[in-house]
Amino acid sequence: MENPFYVPESAMAIAAHPDDIEYSCSGTLARWAQAGTRTYYVLCTSGDVGIATAGMTKARAAEIREQESRDAAAIAGASEVVFLREPDGMLQATLELRKKLVREIRRLRPEVVICSDPTVVLASSDYINHPDHRAAGMAALDAVFPAAGQPNLFEELESEGIKAHKVRKVFVNSWEHSDQFINISATMDVKIAALRAHVSQMNGNDPANMLRQWAAETAKGKEMQYAEGFKVIQLVSDEDWVKTKGVVLP
């Protein structure tokens, strides 16, 4: 059974590549957006090595994949897509990347950040988790805590008027350790449509059956048809959130 449905004021998904959000958490983001959440996508790379067509250049691939990301985000109701344009296939959780992410977290001030689990390497018997996914997850977690909330860290951002911001909750896309499940039955078709927008990655195949199978497996035994699962970390207590934000608890 789904926990009482939590609707944050704002949420930011941080991912390595175009299409990562659509595969992992776009059902949740779409459901939140429909409920009034401002949602933001931050993509560390533009997927510029992800189109293997003969004669394709990295620059042209980046253009194609960035537009596909914008199209997919629009389908899911996202407010903004940010491209950090780090090198695809060579992403590393550097201090430079951490600072870029801190800038976006402080600028957009999300209540929730969604990211990948950097500890997952051998994801299944037929898949090794992409090193860019692991790097993006680690960089995102390091940016969220403690960096984004410490004004004396990357203090040059403070001088630009980009003030420190503490994220309330982190939703980590978890392969095996989810403790909260979001019912995406009402937004399953949105998730499928958003992934279909990544035409360059589909190779003429329709991802609908695959996405439905994955979401059904996640939902199994939970009194819902389709679900996305997360390991949730609460960084700011409900009491402190009320005090600092002046909001009513959901």
Domain count of the chain? 1
Find the domain containing 131 and state its range.
10-245
Which CATH number belongs to the domain containing residue 169 in this structure? 3.40.50.10320
Residue 22 located in a structural domain: yes
- With beta carbons less than 8 A apart as the criterion, state whether 201 and 211 touch: no
Residue 39 located in a structural domain: yes
pLDDT higher than threshold 90 for residue 4? no
Residue 198 located in a structural domain: yes
Residue 4 located in a structural domain: no
Residue 3 located in a structural domain: no
At 123-173, the pLDDT tens digits run 887 889 899 999 999 999 999 999 999 999 999 998 888 999 999 999 999
pLDDT of residue 24: 97
| The model's pTM | 0.94
Residue 116 located in a structural domain: yes
